Amino acid sequence: MNELSSNATPDSLTAGLVDLIRSKPIAPADLEAAALFTLDAVANSLAGRNSEPGHILANWWQSRGPSNVTPDPARLAFLMGALCHILETDDLHRESVVHPGCVVIPAAWTLAAARGSTGKAFLEAVLHGFEAATRIGMAVGPAHYRIWHNTATCGPFGSAMAAAALLGLSDAAAVDALGNAGSQSSGLWQFLETGAMTKHLHAGHAAEAGVNAAELAAFGFTGPPRILEGEKGFFRAACPDADPEAVLRAPNMPWQLARTSIKPWPSCRHTHPTIDAASELRARLADADLAPEAIVAIDVSTYAAAIDVCNRPVVESDYEAKFSLQHAVAAALLFPVVDFEAFGASARQYCAPLAARVRVEAAEPWASAYPLNWGGRVILRMMDGRELVAVRTDAKGDPEAPLRREEMIDKAAMLLRHGGVDKPMPLIEAILDLATRDALPDLALI
């Protein structure tokens, strides 16, 4: 039985969050969903190896010691988390603007593998971790996101909560783990100015910090229970418009993992509603026998956060292109498939003239609908005076427009092949069967 009953008033928000999470029932469908999200994260981590930051991470990892030494789970979680967040194809929880998979799943995977945990225990820990990271993310407020990267700041709570489940921590020890994880919350958006690799560091650190915090709590290392709402806590320090009640609001809603989106395209999630809309317009141009050269101007209307992060008219790298509404729309209009190559050097050069005709603005109803709905509109203004319009209320891969199971498997297979796994199906099948497995399948990151 939990040390704090679900009907009691919690001593702190973290105590209430631990009780809320551990009181939620887990159905077989929840475990199945957690396995699909695990597949997505593992595929992203292995695919991330095939990138410049991935090669640097591999060289760094191999320089740290003999390959026959069993790696520390927390340090390995750093590597797996950093790799997972490189290609911009990992999951996203809209209301919290947190990428939970790249933090929670590496922490849970490396710890469960080291301890020989069952697949079911691992999946339950994943559900716990997603819930903690996203519930705190929903409470930080929009002003936090303008400076702080929510995955980096809220992620340590998720990795700590997942690790607490696998370590069998008491409720009191789990609160200690969350307190010390929260004190390690950090991660700033300044890297966007130069396209630096810092974002990958954010995911890795968040995964590692939670594992360390939970393992220390197992030894009795205490943490601040009021790390969120305290006078010198997280909300007071970094969240000027925080909504603390969101942490424990609507405790009986489905697991937040089920409210998390899966990305179909390898770019910032803020670009996806307009990629989807522009893809529709590309088909309509073809049906009308109109060439892209006949487009005079492209008007993109969306929500403010998308423009804050992705208003980038000129791009000079793959990474900058992935954070550019202008390039993303042009690519969706010019290419039948928006894949990794659509953000490469030749694609950037090819798309640049059309991207220069893209104008972006924050407008209703998308501005007010965010973050509950991530939508937008694309208008093509043609030489002959006609206008072609496509609107999206939600992005493909959102809970309202989910990818089919087959699409998620196809995406994972594509990512695994990109990462050098020639025969991906055995690993895919093993991950999807985790709920019945006695242990996790072997995973060689490097």
- Provide long-range contacts, Cβ within 8 A and 24+ apart, for 57-66: 57/82, 57/83, 57/200, 58/446, 61/446, 62/446
Q: Which domains does the chain have, with CATH numbers?
A: 13-264+402-436 (1.10.4100.10), 269-392 (3.30.1330.120)
pTM for the whole thing? Answer: 0.89
Q: Can you say how many angstroms the Cα of residue 308 is from the centroid of all Cα atoms in its chain?
A: 18
Residue 9 confidence (pLDDT): 53
Residue 429 confidence (pLDDT): 98
Strand segments, DSSP code E, in 323-425 are: 358-362, 376-382, 387-392
Amino acid (one-letter) located at 165: A
pLDDT in tens, the chain (446 residues): 344 433 345 799 999 999 999 999 999 999 999 999 999 999 999 999 999 999 999 999 999 877 677 889 999 999 999 999 999 999 999 999 999 999 999 999 999 999 999 999 999 999 999 999 999 999 999 999 999 999 999 999 999 999 999 999 999 999 999 999 999 999 999 998 898 999 999 999 999 999 999 999 999 999 999 999 999 999 999 999 999 999 999 999 999 999 999 999 999 999 999 999 999 999 999 999 999 999 999 999 999 999 999 999 999 999 899 999 999 999 999 999 999 999 999 999 999 999 999 999 999 999 999 988 999 999 999 999 999 999 999 999 999 999 999 999 999 999 999 999 999 999 999 999 999 999 999 998 88
Structure tokens at 124: 């339950």
Residue 69 confidence (pLDDT): 73
DSSP label at residue 95? T
Residue 5 confidence (pLDDT): 34
Helix 28-47 crosses helix 73-84 at what angle (to 10 degrees)? Answer: 80
Count, residues in the chain: 446
Structure tokens at 228: 């969120």
Residue 10 confidence (pLDDT): 73
Residues 6+ apart with CB under 8 A from 419: 43, 46, 47, 48, 49, 50
> Collapsing DSSP states into helix, strand and coil, what is residue 92?
strand
